[in-house]
Amino acid sequence: MKWGVWLIAGAMPEDNHQQVLQDSLAYGRAADELGYDEAWVLEHHFTGYGICGSPMTMAAYVLAQTKNLKVGTGISVIPLEHPLRLAEQVALLDNMSNGRFIFGIGRGVFVKDFKVFGVDMENSRDMMDEWVDVMQAAWINRHSKFDGKFVKFDEIELFPRPLTLPHPPVHVVAQSPSTIEWTAKRGLPMMINFFLDDDAKRTQIDLYNEIAYEHGHDVDNIDHSISCLAGVGDTTQQIVDSSRDRLIKWQEEFVRASMIFKKENINMKGYEWYARQWEQNAIAGEYPVEERVDGNFKINPIGSVQECIDKLNKTVEVTGVEHFLCGFESLGGGRDRIIESMRRFKEEVIPHVKSARSLNTENTTKPTDSTVSEIA
């Protein structure tokens, strides 16, 4: 199994921004010291939902301050930058970190980002498709040239060459069916969102597997990951009482900053899924934040040690995924408390989370009621 930590860098209005960023770096160092496998940095612009506008810079800092930790972008909003610039940066971090960098990508849902940076958001799907073609060609081939819809260039040679062959790992945040289909066709692993319950996660994986299999990919060996909010306390209620207000403010900032749920954006080309998912709320200009947050407490590994174990084992059993990215930072409480939660999770929860194979074996060998009565 694999266990990662999100470095969120979310800032409330009263927070000092330097302190927020230094705290995130501290969580990266703590993850390395505690034996987590990965840390993931976010990209956001013009919002306190996350104040890291340059995930490559943040990833470089975390990589430089750790020894064994792999570090990924979660995500890099790739339509906002030229694909060759991204390919260069990825190859550079791959070399400098001795292969510890992971390139997590997505097309973005924050409307303001596209408007400010002068990118047509309705082209984000086609751009993402072309961007990945450009980057993979530059990484894999000694020389490459491209004549696409958005990018055209004569023959170039990328420097430095990637250390990891054929190229550093690429993961995709996939929420909508169209993005899942796109990701599956390419055989790239999905990063599954924290607000989905286990059955919804399984539905996404089933859709992915059907399409990936049709395109010749080995669906049993694709490293999907599940994002989750995470926090350990003596009781579940203790965690809820201490973190609910902050989590609500954090989610409210997402709704305000993304603008994807505003009336004028619900029919945006390429984002129809969001309109269908939230149609009634979007039409009313609303988003049920408190309801969503309360649901997050129920489906994410937040609470007592045993409750965290039970939730994670259920998720593994339903989805078959054994790779988790944990957002301890989102629950707040200060650096010491968050690192202590990370420690308890690593030492008291993770050792008791079972593999999918182990859970399936238990279920197939567990006696049914009828079997028990026959034995009796």
* pLDDT tens profile 24-51: 999 999 999 999 999 999 999 999 999 9
Q: In the prediction, which pLDDT does 140 show?
A: 98
Report helix, strand and coil shares of the chain as percent, to nearest 5.
55, 15, 30
Which parts of 97-235 fold into alpha helices (H)? 111-116, 124-140, 177-186, 198-214
pLDDT, mean of residues 242-249: 95
The DSSP H or E segment spanning 15 is none
**pLDDT band, residue 368 (cuts 50/70/90):** very low
Q: Which among 160, 115, 165 has a CA at the least distance from the CA of 140?
A: 165
Position of tokens 């990936």? Answer: 212
Q: What residues contact 322, with CB distance under 8 A and at least 6 apart?
A: 1, 2, 316, 355, 356
Which parts of 160-235 fold into alpha helices (H)? 177-186, 198-214
Evaluate whether 43 touches 77 at the Cβ level (below 8 Å): yes
Give the pair of three-digit tokens for residue 91.
């190859």
Residue 37 sits at the vertex; the CA angle it makes with 35 and 43, to the nearest 5 degrees, is: 125
CA atoms within 13 A on the CB side of 20: 17
**Cα separation, 345 vs 372, whole angstroms:** 36
One-letter amino acid of 158: L
**pLDDT band, residue 242 (cuts 50/70/90):** very high
User: Which top CATH class is 2-375?
Assistant: alpha beta
